[in-house]
Structure 1
Amino acid sequence: MSDIPDFHLDDLAPSDANSEYAERQFWTGDVTVLAEHRTPPDGSHSYVVAHDGSVAWGAPGEPQVAAIKVARDLSLNTFTFEVTYHATVAFAQNWLIERGCPPEHISQAGGDLMKPADDLTLQVEQQIRESGTRYEVLDTQTSDSDPREAWTLARNSDAGQTPIRVFLDEGNFSTRTYTMREGAFADVDAARCWLDSRSGPLPEPPEYSDHNGAVVRARIALSRSVGASATPQTGLDATRATPATPVQHPVQGRLL
């Protein structure tokens, strides 16, 4: 893991106005790389998950994890540059995987970061990474108060009666661990009501019910067997709420 990303853009020109703007606006001075992959053998593509500490200078609650894709056309000496922001590392990883990054090269991250507290956290994160385009992100929120948390509000296109999902990430600095939980709601209003009031436990999705328990346990065992415990969570220490779409303005592993 490096503190300042090197996008290897020397002697290359942006291929379009969006790439030029995104590359200029993405200030690397307060960025910590959490995971990255550069395609061999020519290095034409780079995929990066990074924590952007400069977000703390902006509006409270904005997501702090940047997913960055750089594509280089070495025959034309040009590049394209895309950046999106996410509340959690798993959603950033999903965005990169959907854009061609091999999952095995971006699903792990290094550094002195908080670790998953339990197997269910591993399973939920793996589910997000492997979800393809199933989740439409509607909103996010990142809090730097104590207890620290980040949540993602999403619509699950594969769900039936409870298509609205809340993915809640909560950190514990005394144990240097975090949990990720998924909640299911019938509509956006019900999800926002729960987020505002926290009047009861996060309602589990139907697929977590007892009759599907064997499937859930199998997924948990699989996530444990592939070593996902090394996956970091969002950088709330170093400290935006938007859907995960490419941005044209400045862009979680908790950094300890």
Structure 2
Amino acid sequence: MPQYVALYLQRDHERRTFRFEQAPLPLPSIAQSWLIHRGCPPESIALDPEWGTAPADEVTRALEQRLMSDGNHYALGWSYTRDDPDDWVTLATLRALDERAPSPFRVVVEEADIEAGTHTLREGGFETVHEALTGCDDRLSGTGKVLPPVRPTPSLSRPASVPKPVAPRSPGRSR
């Protein structure tokens, strides 16, 4: 079971009613993304540094920020949390909603070091759901901890070669 529940509550003061949505999610950054994309201001759901573990490095911070902002580009498939003190790990498989996305299947791995009070977050890219789930099985069995890199998104706006600068035309001269 995912370890977090995101709760989006909408109050109607005039009618004295409320509506809510909830979603069990495996990682805080995925829960924050779910809330942000329902209209919750990101600054209102920042994590309290006094609770939980802190990001161990800049790679973790950057991936958490990207998951928060781009999380709606992915669908959560499968997740697993193991809270074994010797191997505290959460795995989440994601599928890109854009079928043209590079590395359409992602595995996000969070490993917590409870004694140090930190966690790391890493991401691997896979071409098929089978490869992604096999990567998860390998991580859980201890046979593999290295995730394949995510293929970069090709830039469509950048030209393949840099055009040569064109000299400005002088007024009154014709070519």
TM range (shorter): 0.7 to 0.9
Secondary structure at the aligned position of 2:63 is classed as: helix
Distance 1:132 1:125 in 2: 10
Distance 2:83 2:15 in 1: 44
**Where does residue 67 of structure 1 map in the other structure?**
6
Q: How does 1:1-256 map to 2 (within 5 A)?
A: 62-145=1-84, 146-158=86-98, 160-198=101-139, 199-200=143-144, 201-207=146-152
Q: TM-score, normalised by structure 2?
A: 0.78
Distance apart, 1:156 and its partner CA: 1.7
Which structure has more RCO (C-alpha within 8 Å, separation ≥ 6)? 1
Q: Which amino acid aligns with 1:177?
A: T
Secondary structure at the aligned position of 1:174 is classed as: coil
Distance 2:71 2:106 in 1: 15
Distance 1:77 1:160 in 2: 44
* Structure with higher strand content: 2
**Structure 1 residues not aligned, in runs of 5+:** 1-61, 209-256
Distance apart, 1:132 and its partner CA: 4.7
Tell me which stretches of 4 or more aligned residues in structure 1 moved more than 3 Å: 158-161
Distance apart, 1:161 and its partner CA: 4.2
Distance apart, 1:111 and its partner CA: 2.3
Secondary structure at the aligned position of 1:202 is classed as: coil
Contact kept? 2:102, 2:152, Cα under 8 Å: no
RMSD: 1.7
Distance 2:71 2:53 in 1: 26
**Structure 2 residues not aligned, in runs of 5+:** 154-175
> Which structure has the larger Rg over C-alpha atoms?
2
Residue 203 to residue 101, structure 1, CA distance change in 2 (3 Å): same
* Structure with higher helix content: 1
Aligned length: 147
Q: Which amino acid aligns with 1:157?
A: L
Distance 1:168 1:154 in 2: 11
Question: Aligned residues: percent identity?
Answer: 35
Residue 144 to residue 132, structure 1, CA distance change in 2 (3 Å): closer
